[in-house]
């Protein structure tokens, strides 16, 4: 193979690779443009051939047509001359000069000198006879106008004789041209048929090549998509034992093939990993269930473990008895309320209670706080009676009221308000509990921390003297939220809202069970 052929092959190979690396849109546009250019070329080529054919056939008998037209001019000139000689009218003389001028214009285009070519020599003779005829007929017209009978007879007879020779020569040349044009016509007809047949064949070949080019380009674009579709259907039927594409293309389809290969490999690896770790995950899941049960039990008992001093309960009962003996009725009632508060926690160690039980325990706690702080806080309640029998975890409301007193109203020395509302929503069959204060509000950072800790089900940290104030708030509220979520198996049971006029509202939404 010569060096020049190698260079040509290398050029076309680079051109093909460059086409492959373009985007699908560019490939389609290039194919469309090339096909359009080919079709335009075919149309232009065919139109040119037909135009050339029509022109060639049309020009075959042009010389005969020109000679016929010239003979008509000369004949009309001679006829006008005879009419003027006979009748001497203005119309005849005007017609004579008109056709004489037209005849002279045509005669001036004929061969002007002798020639060895027969047709050209005939044209020269016709031109000389034409000039002689125009001269003789002009003299005859002039003699007739001057009434010179002698010259009229001479020039008229000579003009008629010259016209006869001229007409014979024109007819002879016309026949010569006719024979030559007939031969040229047959030759042109044969060549034209060959040219038309060749152009039609070439047009079909170009059209077939153009269609093949479009078909190959479209197939090259759509075939990988069809393969991807069939493989995707197999994967959808959980058949992952498919061959990878390993496409070398650099366009969008190549990218899809490589991404699909990576996905298949990833799925296979993932399935292998699932089969290998399924048993271990089952074992871990069982252990996790056990641990969650233990953690849940710890959640329920965490607060109770903080408030179970049996000796303190017995001591308070003894103190209440002594106060009654001594006549200290207020002290006696106070100690009895504290004892009832402790008794509630001892009798419901992490178990169920009703809203009525929770409100009764809350009344004890509010009385204790009233004795402690006097008229510093005002407690109000709005309770729907039909909600009192609803079940809920114990020790839910007291920590929230305690939070309002210790943190929400800690900087308020008078006119502090704590409101407890228990309402029944009959449309949704839910019980709404609101515990609100008019204090300083809730720190947004601490609120976010509490809600995130409750969402992640982090274990509740039991309060200890080392825990700072913010951690103390978080621990108690996370305990309440976690217990509510676990008890009702819902995530939308608790929220912390900011009041429009300041303060915080703890909102509990529980089903009516």
Quote the pLDDT of residue 472: 47
Q: Give the model's confidence band at 315: pLDDT under 50 very low, under 70 low, under 90 confident, else very high.
A: low
Neighbours of 204 (CB within 10 A): 11
Buried b (16+ CB within 10 A) or exposed e, 247-284: bebebebbebbbebbeebeeeeeeeeeeeeeeeeeeee
User: Which pLDDT band holds residue 469 (cuts at 50, 70, 90)?
Assistant: very low
- The percentage of the chain sitting over the pLDDT mark of 90, rounded to a whole number, equals 20
**CATH architecture, domain defined by 62-201:** Up-down Bundle (1.20)
pLDDT, tens digit, 9 for 90 and up, residues 282-308: 777 777 777 666 566 655 555 555 445
Edge-first strand listing for the sheet containing 504-511:
377-383, 416-425, 430-437, 504-511, 494-498
Residue for token digits 């985007």? 23
- Asked if residue 461 has pLDDT above 50, the reply is no
Q: Does residue 120 surpass a pLDDT of 50?
A: yes
Output the average pLDDT for the chain: 78
The pTM assigned to this predicted structure is 0.39
Share of the chain above pLDDT 70, in %: 75
Tokens of 150: 């002698």
Indicate the burial class of 351 (C-beta count within 10 angstroms; 0-12, 13-18, 19 or more): exposed
Say yes or no to pLDDT of 159 above 80.
Answer: yes
Please say if the pLDDT value at position 434 is more than 90.
yes
When pLDDT is averaged across residues 136-157 and rounded to a whole number, the result is 89
Domain spans of the chain? 62-201, 348-511
163-167 average pLDDT score: 93
pLDDT the model gives residue 341:
65
Note the pLDDT tens digit of each residue in 362-415.
888 888 788 777 778 888 999 999 999 998 888 888 889 888 888 888 888 788
Residue 457: how many other CB atoms lie within 10 Å? 16
As a whole number of angstroms, the distance between CA 389 and CA 464 comes to 35
62-201 and 348-511, same CATH topology: no
**CB atoms closer than 10 angstroms to residue 140:** 24
Q: What is the pLDDT of residue 132?
A: 93
Distance CA(224)–CA(219), nearest Å, equals 9
More confident residue, 340 or 411: 411
Q: Does residue 311 carry a pLDDT above 50? A: no
Interatomic CA distance for residues 103 and 285, integer angstroms? 120
Q: Which helix (H) or strand (E) holds 146?
A: none
Write down the pLDDT at residue 463: 39
Question: What tokens does 166 get?
Answer: 């001229």
Q: Which pLDDT value is given to residue 460?
A: 42
To which residue do tokens 């899941």 refer?
285
Domain 348-511 has CATH 1.10.40.30: no
CB 100 within 8 A of CB 77: yes
The answer on pLDDT for 474 being more than 80 is no
**pLDDT score of 26 more than 80:** no
- Dig out the tokens for 114 from the structure: 């002798």
């Amino acid at each position: 193979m010569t060096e020049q052929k190698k260079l040509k092959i290398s050029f076309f190979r680079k051109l093909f690779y460059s086409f492959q690396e373009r985007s699908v849109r560019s490939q389609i546009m290039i194919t469309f443009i090339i096909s359009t250019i080919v079709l335009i070329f075919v149309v232009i080529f065919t139109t040119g051939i037909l135009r050339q054919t029509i022109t060639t056939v049309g020009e075959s008998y042009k010389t005969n047509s020109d000679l016929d037209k010239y003979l008509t001019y000369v004949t009309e000139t001679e006829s006008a001359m005879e009419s003027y000689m006979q009748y001497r009218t203005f119309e005849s003389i005007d017609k004579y000069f008109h056709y004489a001028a037209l005849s002279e214009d045509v005669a001036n285009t004929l061969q002007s000198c002798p020639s060895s070519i027969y047709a050209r020599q005939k044209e020269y003779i016709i031109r000389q006879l034409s000039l002689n005829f125009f001269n003789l007929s002009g003299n005859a017209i002039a003699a007739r106008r001057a009434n010179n009978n002698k010259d009229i007879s001479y020039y008229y007879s000579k003009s008629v004789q010259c016209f006869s020779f001229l007409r014979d020569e024109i007819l002879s040349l016309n026949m010569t041209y006719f024979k030559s044009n007939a031969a040229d016509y047959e030759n042109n007809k044969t060549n034209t048929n060959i040219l038309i047949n060749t152009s039609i064949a070439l047009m079909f070949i170009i059209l077939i090549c153009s269609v093949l080019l479009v078909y190959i380009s479209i197939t090259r674009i759509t075939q990988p998509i069809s393969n991807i579709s069939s493989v995707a259907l197999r994967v959808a039927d959980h058949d992952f034992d498919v061959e990878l594409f390993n496409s070398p293309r650099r366009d969008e389809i190549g990218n899809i093939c490589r991404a699909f290969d990576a996905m298949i490999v990833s799925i296979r690896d993932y399935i292998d990993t699932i089969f290998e770790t399924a048993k271990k995950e089952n074992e871990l899941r069982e252990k996790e269930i056990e641990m969650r049960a233990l953690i849940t039990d710890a959640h329920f008992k965490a607060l109770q473990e903080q408030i179970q001093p049996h000796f303190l309960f017995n001591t308070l009962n003894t103190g209440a008895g002594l106060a009654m003996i001594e006549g200290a009725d207020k002290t006696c009632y106070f100690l009895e309320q504290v004892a009832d508060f402790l008794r509630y926690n001892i009798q419901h160690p992490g178990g169920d209670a009703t809203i009525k039980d929770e409100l009764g325990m809350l009344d004890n706690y509010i009385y204790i706080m009233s004795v402690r702080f006097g008229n510093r806080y005002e407690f109000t309640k709005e309770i729907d009676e039909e909600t009192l029998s609803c079940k809920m975890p114990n020790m839910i409301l007291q920590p929230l009221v305690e939070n309002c007193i210790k943190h929400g109203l800690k900087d308020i020395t008078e006119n502090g308000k704590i409101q407890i509302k228990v309402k029944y929503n009959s449309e949704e069959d839910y019980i709404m509990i609101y515990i609100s204060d008019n204090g300083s509000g809730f720190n947004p950072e601490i609120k976010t921390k509490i809600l995130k800790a409750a969402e992640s089900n982090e274990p509740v940290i039991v309060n200890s003297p080392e825990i700072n104030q913010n951690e103390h708030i978080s621990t108690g509220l996370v305990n309440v939220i976690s217990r509510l979520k676990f008890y009702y198996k819902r995530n939308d049971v608790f929220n912390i809202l900011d009041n429009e006029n300041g303060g915080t509202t703890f909102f509990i939404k529980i089903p009516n069970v």
